[in-house]
Amino acid sequence: MNFIRHIRLLLLVGLLYPALLHAQVKDSTAPQNLTLEQCIQFALENQPAVQQARLNEEIGEREIKANLSGWLPQIAANYAFSHNIRRQQSVFGDQVITIGQKYNSNINLQANQTLYSNDLLLASRASRFTRTALDLNTQATQINTVVEVSKAFFNILLSQEQLRILNENISRQEKQYRDARAQYEQGLVDKTDYQRASITLNSIRADRKRTQETIKASTAYLQELMGLPLGAPLTLAYDYKQMEENILVDTTQQVAYGGRVEFRQLQTQKQLQDLNTRYYRWGFLPTASAFINYNPTFFSAEFSDLYNQSYPTSAVGLQVGIPIFQGGRRIQNVKISQLQQQSLDVEQQNLERRINTEYQTAMASYKSDYNDWLTLQSNVKIAEEVYDVIKLQYNEGIKTYLDLIVAETDLRTAQLNYYNALYNVLSSKLDVQRALGTITVQ
């Protein structure tokens, strides 16, 4: 009896094993429900714009090292070989003397060490600010990514809630349509009731179709922002209660320009421009370098004996280049750089005004959207109560079907407006945080 039981167990496992294996593979490859934080983190690692910004940082670091390599010794080797088909002749008294050998060759080995260079000094001092500028560019890209992904995430949730509300309305309207049709067939009401129900039902179905397509487009946009592979599915996890709890922002905060990445970028640009001014101002300083070379020379009348004997020369020395007169170019370059500094000062003032306007606009939108959200919360409750009362009165024959349709439309509109307001206030909060410069990226 135990043997038969074991056989049945083995057969059952054999039949179910492929299905279990398929389920395991499917679960391992299926995407998990992503929260907003997970979507943002994925985007910060995979979005092409962020990846490009990081690549620009790496490129900039390589360029800095390439510019600073001039401080290290520069070693070069040159090789030359010549076959003098017709050698040079010179006259000494009344004799014509042929000079040189038929075959000549030389190798020149030289090492140079820069002692001082205005160009290299500028590159050394600017390297720190260049790295800062590249890092700030990456931060700006990441901040924009956080805002764009968050808004796209909220937009999908809005559409999904709209779809849920429309599905509930369709279910309710289908029942009302069936009830109205049954009452008409029984001769209790005229056909206008179920015709109105049919019109309303078709309209809601059209809205549902439009919302379904909107969700597809919004999902594709979020996938693009996140850098998801083409065709990769995406499902979202969210908690509306938690979202509503995080809706508040301190409206008493004052904008601090130093918190904005754009302001720090401009400050770095001004520091680089100041270095340029000093570079041109000290352009009259000489360039100094030390060198050593070794130059073995070979010559022979026969090619086979060319490298049998060498005649080397060697030297150690110091080279100094002094720019005595450049036609006033250095002075003009100094003036140009100073004017560019003044232009950056003007740009800073304009940036401060622009940041302040952005903050005031974002805060005004947030306050208005937040007030709308609070108002629409109460509107939803009132619309639900009105609908329930009119539905009972319609069933008792007190209210007309038109009153019921109006109440249902008001309820649907209040529900949709509520979620629109929730999206708007969450979006406005992001704009306020960006204007304040409080969006941080880990």
DSSP labels for 151-182? HHHHHHHHHHHHHHHHHHHHHHHHHHHHHHHH
pLDDT at 68: 94
Tell me the C-alpha to C-alpha distance, in Å, between residue 401 and each of 86, 109, 320, 394, 405: 117, 102, 100, 7, 6
More confident residue, 407 or 149: 149
- Residue 57 is predicted with a pLDDT of 95
pLDDT at 175: 82
Report the length, in residues, of the chain.
442
Q: Distance between CA 1 and CA 152 in Å, rounded?
A: 63
| Cα torsion through 33, 37, 39, 45, rounded to 10 | -130
pLDDT, tens digit (0-9, with 9 covering 90-100), for 264-292: 999 999 999 999 999 999 988 899 999 99
Q: Quick: pLDDT tens for 159-191.
A: 998 898 889 888 888 887 787 777 777 776 677
pLDDT at 11: 34
CA distances in angstroms from 311 to 82, 105, 294, 307, listed in the order given:
16, 10, 11, 10
Q: Phi and psi dihedrals of 80, rounded to 5? A: -140, 145
Tell me the CA distances in angstroms from 194 to 188, 217, 408, one per residue in order.
12, 35, 15
Q: Is the pLDDT of residue 365 over 90?
A: yes
* pLDDT band for position 32 (cuts 50, 70, 90): low
Q: Which residue is listed with tokens 């042929």?
A: 98
Query: Sorting pLDDT into bands at 50, 70 and 90, what band is 90?
Result: confident
The model's pTM: 0.80
The token duo for 279 is 């570079």
> Residue 45 pLDDT > 50, yes or no?
yes
- Paired sense of beta strands 311-321 and 287-300, if any: antiparallel
Q: Which residues contact 310 (CB under 8 A, 6 or more apart)?
A: 296, 297, 298
Q: Residue 87 — pLDDT band, cuts 50, 70, 90? A: confident
Mean pLDDT over each residue of the chain, to the nearest integer: 85
Predicted pLDDT at 189: 67
pLDDT band at 193, cuts 50/70/90?
confident
**Position 375 pLDDT exceeds 60:** yes
Token pair belonging to 383: 């619309």
Q: What is the pLDDT of residues 219-251, one digit of tens each?
A: 999 999 999 888 788 888 877 777 777 888 888
